[in-house]
Structure 1
Amino acid sequence: MSTPSSKPDSRLVALMVLLVLFSPLAIDIYLPAMPLMAAEFDVASTRIQDTISWFMVSLGLGQLLAGPLADRYGRRPVAIAGIVIYSLSSGFAWVASSLDALLFARLMQGAGACATSVCAFAAVRDSFGGKRSGQMISYLNGAICFIPALAPLLGAWLTAQFGWRSNFSFMMAYALVALVLVLTLFRETRPADTDSSGKLLSPSRYWQVLKEPVFVYHAVLCMLAMSVILAYVTSAPVRLINGLGLTMEQFTLWFGVNAVLNITASMTAPKVMDKFGSRKTLNAGMLLLVFAGCLMAALSTTQAAWAFMVPVFLSSFGFAWILGSAAGKALEPFGQRAGTAAALLGLFQMSGAGVLVSLTQRAGLSEPHLLVFHMLLLAPGLLLLWSSKGKRWHTAEA
């Protein structure tokens, strides 16, 4: 068992970025290929969107086991196991001959990605402490946002040159490279006083986290913010390519512009939190998402790409500010249960968002109105933040 350094080096930060990129890579790289996949499997676009929703559900649920495993056995071995699972399932997706086989591969891929994600965030909590971890999570989110900027461009090229399956062979290659780097460079960060007692899936282990209202409130906010992003990435190809007739190159351009804004928002969120405090940042993020929902509703009948994307641009800043403020606050009370707390946060954020979006996609809403619904779901959370309970759960900094 290793004792974490009080001053984490840049190598650790780079490795954590490497680990958190598994999830967005698996979501974003094949987005331009979704219409081709639907045509090859002869299914509706909603069924292809399930390959993202199922991945998200598995990504979140798997963390219920990955978190306690990381607390008991360490971050490094669990991360290595996750990378191996991700690599094998990417290969299975590459050769899948039916949509059912592809969906199964995506479930397994989510299980692998959940291990790398929970170990990365737990290692951040180990190394940076409760208060600074929120800022570092914002930087990790900024790194994550490079993937939506680059992955669709890469995916469009791979699909045009080698077919849509090449996207999954690229994921497998990325996993193999990451495996070598983690095996050679990642030192264990689990603190010596980590609570690893009890059964791995003992309800009491999770109840110790779930009974804390500070955690539940902020985890729900992370889930609702993530559902906006998931609704966007699954709806954008249908709206922009199928609905508005954009080419794959035009789609990736709009998607890339939004990713640049996501990067800017996530990288500047720690500075915004330093200057204004996490409570004001959280408040501004929710206000911005609610406003974006109202704007999307007003522009919903306009048949133009900008009318769909401008509210999304605004929501990118709202998402970054909410996640930066809420994720760190959710993990702050759990120094001795960082793995379990990070796992439950991932469950809320990934599985919760995945299930919510999968259900609302079947409600018959148009793509703009689907986003309106998810953006306006932040309004009750905003009202709660203004209440006396909200002021106790997220106090203003002195």
Structure 2
Amino acid sequence: MDQNLNYNSGTMSRNVILALVISASVITLMSTDLYAPSLAHLPELLGTSAELVQLTVSLNLLAYGLATLIHGPLSERFGRRPVLLWGMAGFTLASFLCAIAADIGQLLFARVFQGIAAAVEGVVVLAIIRDLFTEKEQVRAVAIYGVATAFAPAFAPLLGGYIHVLFGWRMNFHLLTGLALAVTALITLFLKESGKKDHDALDLKEIYADYFGLLSNRSFLLYITIGGCSLGCIFVFITAGPFILINNHGVATEHFGYYYAVIVIAYIIGSLLAARMSGRHGAREILRAGVCCAVIGSLLLLAILASGWETPVTLTLAVAVLLFAEGPIFAVVPTLAMNTTDKRTGSAAAVIISAEMAIGSLAALAVSWTHDGTSLPMILIMLALVVIVVLAYLRSGR
């Protein structure tokens, strides 16, 4: 914990800063979930293919992951506050460009731009938590962050579905533009700097030393592999779920959000449980509980695949069990990973998010490339990701 003079050690001051950065993350995380119900309709509306529409999700996530490698050193050099403001301004513009996109090419460009800008928030949140909280407090803070940032995405597809039916898919991006403007104004007025500026942070030798040191750290790599593959399960469902539930099972566009809400609420419950466990159990114990739940969820998916009992309800419940497991996993993986290294906080946070997002977006790309109109590719990719999570967890304890 490295508290800057702009913040005292009081709980109120630190909670205010946490609330501000969480509000920024909530808006940026809604960028995909809000228009998820529209995905199944965009091929017809934009005169393109389902595979290209799915790329608006996977390329956005990939851009997000790669951009964090740049935003980490920037936040160390110029401070958390200015970099966060730049990111929110870029996100606002990108959301507006998405709203006025005339074809799939323009939408893909705007979504990549949106992902680059949105990446700032993830880096800044983890860096600020590390700046202001002790190790034990970090688990609780990250768990709260997970719950808060899950609430909006939980209900964003429900809201987005009704907006699509009433006003069209573009209105979802107009809404994001307005919300991003409001949050940017709040950050400008109330956010103070939490970290100390490092004038050597943009030195290429320093950046190389930081990143090489992190990527040479076996324990660090294993923990971000766990986080990345867990995130991949979420991205795979976000990418393929709307097509499976709406096109295959006939779920109404405006009702897709109800199924999605069940899944995200399961994640919220898992995050709340992790927050409660943090007072009595260590981070490794919490991680073990999450991995065990992920195995149970994957076995349920395998049972659905083998038995042919696939319905919107059974598929949703099985994925919900898997997402319940992500709550404990995401609550502790960042802390466990960053505590294996003494490198710059911003750089460590950037590598964690970049690597996890890269793994997750590659999983989303895989489900796009293997899209065959059924749930088979989605389920098989989720199973493979859980197997990797288990193997990485077992090796991380050695």
Q: Structure 1 residue 92: deviation in Å?
A: 0.9
The amino acid that maps onto 2:138 is: S
- Picking from 359, 363, 367, the partner of 2:375 is 367
Partner of 1:391: 397
- Greater mean deviation of Cα atoms: 196-205 or 19-28: 196-205
C-alpha contact (below 8 Å) 1:289/1:375 kept by paired residues:
no
C-alpha contact (below 8 Å) 1:288/1:314 kept by paired residues:
yes
Partner of 1:395: none
3-state SS in 1 of match to 2:133: helix
3-state SS in 2 of match to 1:275: coil
Partner of 1:6: 9
Change in CA separation of 1:200 and 1:160 when aligned onto 2, cut-off 3 Å: farther
Q: In the alignment, is residue 136 of structure 1 matched against residue 141 of structure 2?
A: yes
- Picking from 361, 364, 369, the partner of 1:357 is 364
- Picking from 300, 304, 329, the partner of 1:299 is 304
C-alpha contact (below 8 Å) 2:259/2:316 kept by paired residues:
yes
What TM-score, normalized to structure 1? 0.92
The amino acid that maps onto 1:327 is: P
- Greater mean deviation of Cα atoms: 128-137 or 85-94: 128-137
Partner of 1:162: 167
Q: Distance in 2 between matches of 1:54 and 1:23?
A: 15
The amino acid that maps onto 1:120 is: V
Partner of 2:354: 347
Q: Distance in 1 between matches of 2:137 and 2:57?
A: 31
Change in CA separation of 1:252 and 1:296 when aligned onto 2, cut-off 3 Å: same
Change in CA separation of 1:284 and 1:372 when aligned onto 2, cut-off 3 Å: farther
- Picking from 337, 352, 363, the partner of 2:344 is 337
Partner of 1:396: none
C-alpha contact (below 8 Å) 2:236/2:367 kept by paired residues:
no
3-state SS in 1 of match to 2:213: helix
Q: Structure 1 residue 382: deviation in Å?
A: 2.3
3-state SS in 2 of match to 1:276: coil
C-alpha contact (below 8 Å) 1:297/1:369 kept by paired residues:
no
- Picking from 67, 73, 84, the partner of 2:78 is 73
C-alpha contact (below 8 Å) 1:22/1:116 kept by paired residues:
no
Change in CA separation of 1:163 and 1:249 when aligned onto 2, cut-off 3 Å: closer
C-alpha contact (below 8 Å) 1:240/1:305 kept by paired residues:
yes
Change in CA separation of 1:296 and 1:312 when aligned onto 2, cut-off 3 Å: same
Q: Distance in 1 between matches of 2:187 and 2:130?
A: 18
Deviations 1:302-356 (CA, angstroms, capped at 9, x unpaired):
2411121111111122111111121211122456611111111111111221023
C-alpha contact (below 8 Å) 1:193/1:336 kept by paired residues:
no
Change in CA separation of 1:333 and 1:196 when aligned onto 2, cut-off 3 Å: farther
The amino acid that maps onto 2:313 is: W
Question: How many matched pairs?
Answer: 390
The amino acid that maps onto 1:253 is: Y
Q: In the alignment, is residue 22 of structure 1 matched against residue 30 of structure 2?
A: no
C-alpha contact (below 8 Å) 1:55/1:110 kept by paired residues:
yes
Q: Structure 1 residue 192: deviation in Å?
A: 6.5
Q: Structure 1 residue 173: deviation in Å?
A: 0.7
Partner of 1:288: 293
Partner of 2:177: 172
Q: Distance in 1 between matches of 2:50 and 2:142?
A: 33
- The alignment's C-alpha RMSD in Å is 2.2
Q: Give the unaligned 5+ runs of structure 2.
A: none
Q: Distance in 1 between matches of 2:205 and 2:36?
A: 36
Q: How does 1:44-55 map to 2 (within 5 A)?
A: 44-55=49-60
Change in CA separation of 1:384 and 1:104 when aligned onto 2, cut-off 3 Å: closer
Partner of 1:124: 129
The amino acid that maps onto 1:101 is: Q
3-state SS in 1 of match to 2:241: helix
3-state SS in 2 of match to 1:274: coil
Deviations 1:16-51 (CA, angstroms, capped at 9, x unpaired):
211221332111000111122221112222221111
Partner of 1:382: 390
The amino acid that maps onto 2:240 is: S
Partner of 1:60: 65
C-alpha contact (below 8 Å) 1:126/1:190 kept by paired residues:
yes
Q: In the alignment, is residue 219 of structure 1 matched against residue 227 of structure 2?
A: no
Deviations 1:42-101 (CA, angstroms, capped at 9, x unpaired):
222222111111110011111111000000110000000001111111111111111011
C-alpha contact (below 8 Å) 2:233/2:385 kept by paired residues:
no
The amino acid that maps onto 1:93 is: C
